[in-house]
Structure 1
Amino acid sequence: MALRWYSTVVESTDHRALARWWAEALGWDAAYASDQEVVLVPPWAEELTAALPFHRVPPGMVFVPVDHEKSGKNRLHWDFAPHTTDDRNAEIDRLVALGATIIDVGEPEEATWTVLADPEGNEFCVLSARDQ
């Protein structure tokens, strides 16, 4: 038996605002929202969920409220990659315009990724363009 990666949970001091930010950043939809959580899924999730077996349905993101600010570097982060037909630098500029910050976590000068932080300081990377 294998487990399905169901979701990634993100703690936030303003879970609704951070979920809106990530929905805009990823082009995802809010599937559910309450005072306890906001669930984001890719726009194709409903179609895929009906067509795929349980173990092959892709994960979503869940934002939950907490009282405390983030402190320290994440021990887990997301890597996102643009397609080779997309303009990677324009995508990074778009994320920064939405409220992300480019940060330095000690990556090498020749790194093929850029480290950013969302509006609450959660680190994520934009990798070099990929075709798969």
Structure 2
Amino acid sequence: MVLRWYTLVVDCHDVRKQAAWWAEALGWRTIHETDDECVNIPGWVDEDTLKDLPWERIGPGMVFVPVPEGKAVKNRLHLDLAPHTSQDREAEIARLETLGARRVDVGQPAGPGWTVLADPEGNEFCVLSSRDS
């Protein structure tokens, strides 16, 4: 038996804005949207593709839910994003910053192979060096 990573849940103040931001950042789409919950899935996913994949091989989505409290400390869990080797990594970071991400210092060493950013509500994530797989 195997469990499937189904979703990553993001606590936030404005679920619609956060879902829209992450959809734009990742090229995903929002498939469910209310004031109490928004759900994003990869942009390439469609019903026909899902029918042909084994259940345990379907990748996770992102769910955004409201919470009253603000973010207070560094995340204990974060996303690592990587551009393809055919992409300009610095241009991708600049694109994310244009969308509202900001560079943050979480105590990372000088000159790492990644850049730490935060989404508009302060959730940290990293942009790694370019990868081909």
TM-score of the aligned structures, taking structure 1 as reference length: 0.97
Equivalences, count: 132
Where does residue 118 of structure 1 map in the other structure?
Answer: 119
Let me know the Cα RMSD of the aligned residues: 0.9
Amino acid at match of 1:126: V
Unaligned runs of at least 5 residues, structure 2: none
Identify which range, 2-11 or 49-58, moves more after superposition: 49-58
Q: For residues 4 and 83 of structure 2, what CA distance do their matches in structure 1 show?
A: 25
For 2:74, the equivalent position in structure 1 comes to 73
- Runs of 4+ residues over 6 Å off in structure 1: none
Per-residue CA deviations over 1:90-125 (Å, capped at 9, x if unaligned) read 000000010000011111113000000000000000
Q: Are the aligned partners of 1:48 and 1:57 in contact in 2 as well (CA < 8 Å)?
A: no
Task: State the SS of the aligned residue for 2:77.
Answer: coil
Q: Which amino acid aligns with 2:31?
A: A
Q: Percent identity between the aligned chains?
A: 58
In structure 2, the partner of 1:107 is: 108
Deviations 1:41-95 (A, max 9, x none): 0112224312101111110000001111111010000000000110000000000
CA distance in 1, matches of 2:25, 2:123: 13
Q: Hey, what's the Cα distance between the residues in 1 that align with 2:28 and 2:83?
A: 15
Unaligned runs of 5+ in 1: none
Structure 2 residue 36 is matched with structure 1 residue 36: yes
